Structure 1
């Protein structure tokens, strides 16, 4: 089979590795927004497809048997494009999405619908913010007079909050280092997206241990499609999926 993985996540890389080892023809598509992405096994393409029409054309021209959307939980645009292209071409589509985080005893979480909502919550929670929502959408915080420690993989664009420090780093992180980082910068509140997974979850434990409030941005809605939460579940689905018939 020829399989297209819309990737960029650890789950996408793990899935590609498993499928390549099984002898499948795997093409992993990365958005190209990260300067030095971790590349998966198998064939890799970088950049967009040109909307749902371009993706549908690519699926047809490359005779793709099934498509797996294993993108980040907040990559809603490619998710919508994938669903539309799958309908147009009859290509079986699976969403591989790791579960979101759940509040634990001792946590003080404040849920936000989006980054703008998160920014509106902050003034009442603390004046020194650890912002870990990535480099996209930082303009939502630019008008606040709070101090921000902004952590992201690549340098962010403008506008940024007037009072800030940028920390370029990539997970996984440990609880001990996250706690030390927050203490060193006298952080009063943490902001994160509900990305899920273990790679960046240590900050939540550190915030709990320090008694800090956390603003958690909810995941955006995704199109209704077949969905699994594990790589093994995706492999099982692929074994039953054939082009032109629902999985």
Structure 2
């Protein structure tokens, strides 16, 4: 009997859960538990970490998992590495479901691409003015000390993990966003440079188009490297096809 572990937390993971539910494929979605009120997928869900590679390996063995789909966020490199190691040790097939990044966006060549968040801050310093930071609350520690007295606009889904400087403006909202709204936000706060990461997808792409319309420079943190040799799919339909093909090979 097939049992798929779906490492989720993304829109793509929720789409895949719906496909697997419709096809009658047994699966369990796993969420990291970093969001207080996550958007839950269809089907069974577990929330919380596994305890590293050893804990994940044990969970896969105890729950007789026959395939794993890593549909975590493109920047969840640690979880991806753990999944690759655990699956390799047990001989369990692994698929990486990742939305395409923004490298093919029409404006991508005009953006400043950087390898990490410190480099992003340094690139924003060259522009000056008011940065609009949309890289998530777990990245803010890279900027707090350097920008303690500087006006900064930050958009978060969850509350910040630690108090932020008084000069900062914190906006709490969750996508999807539209271009008109993003333009209005940037005008209202006098944004001079946009800091984002190559999350890809349509939910948060509007800010990129708004930046182009307003002439706001964009700094993009590139995606981290993922484990080599892992099969990939760009959407839930392709991932569901991969799962069902494994099931047919067993029948």
Structure 2 length-normalised TM: 0.93
Q: 1:46-125 alignment to 2 at 5 Å?
A: 46-101=47-102, 102-105=104-107, 108-125=110-127
Match of 1:201 in 2: 205
Which stretch shifts more, 69-78 or 94-103? 94-103
Secondary structure of 1:14's match?
helix
C-alpha distance 165-200 of structure 1, shift in aligned 2 (>3 A): same
Segments of structure 2 that go 5 or more residues without pairing to the other structure are none
- 1:103 CA displacement: 4.0
Match of 2:244 in 1: 239
Q: Judge conservation of contact 1:149–1:166 (CA < 8 Å) in 2.
A: yes
Q: 1:1-247 alignment to 2 at 5 Å?
A: 1-101=2-102, 102-105=104-107, 108-145=110-147, 146-158=150-162, 160-161=164-165, 163-224=167-228, 225-241=230-246
Q: Judge conservation of contact 1:151–1:167 (CA < 8 Å) in 2.
A: yes
C-alpha distance 190-96 of structure 1, shift in aligned 2 (>3 A): same
Counterparts of 1:67 and 1:106 in 2: how far apart (Å)?
Answer: 32
Counterparts of 2:108 and 2:33 in 1: how far apart (Å)?
Answer: 38
Counterparts of 2:70 and 2:173 in 1: how far apart (Å)?
Answer: 26
- 1:240 CA displacement: 2.4
Counterparts of 1:169 and 1:3 in 2: how far apart (Å)?
Answer: 32
The alignment's C-alpha RMSD in Å is 1.8
Segments of structure 1 that go 5 or more residues without pairing to the other structure are none
Going by fraction, where is helix more abundant, 1 or 2?
2
Counterparts of 1:63 and 1:107 in 2: how far apart (Å)?
Answer: 46
- 1:98 CA displacement: 0.6
Q: Judge conservation of contact 1:128–1:148 (CA < 8 Å) in 2.
A: yes
- 1:232 CA displacement: 1.3
C-alpha distance 90-107 of structure 1, shift in aligned 2 (>3 A): closer
After TM superposition, the runs of 4+ consecutive aligned structure 1 residues lying more than 6 A away are none
Structure 1 length-normalised TM: 0.95
- 1:108 CA displacement: 3.5
- 1:106 CA displacement: 8.9
- 1:162 CA displacement: 5.2
Alignment length (residue pairs): 245
C-alpha distance 50-160 of structure 1, shift in aligned 2 (>3 A): same
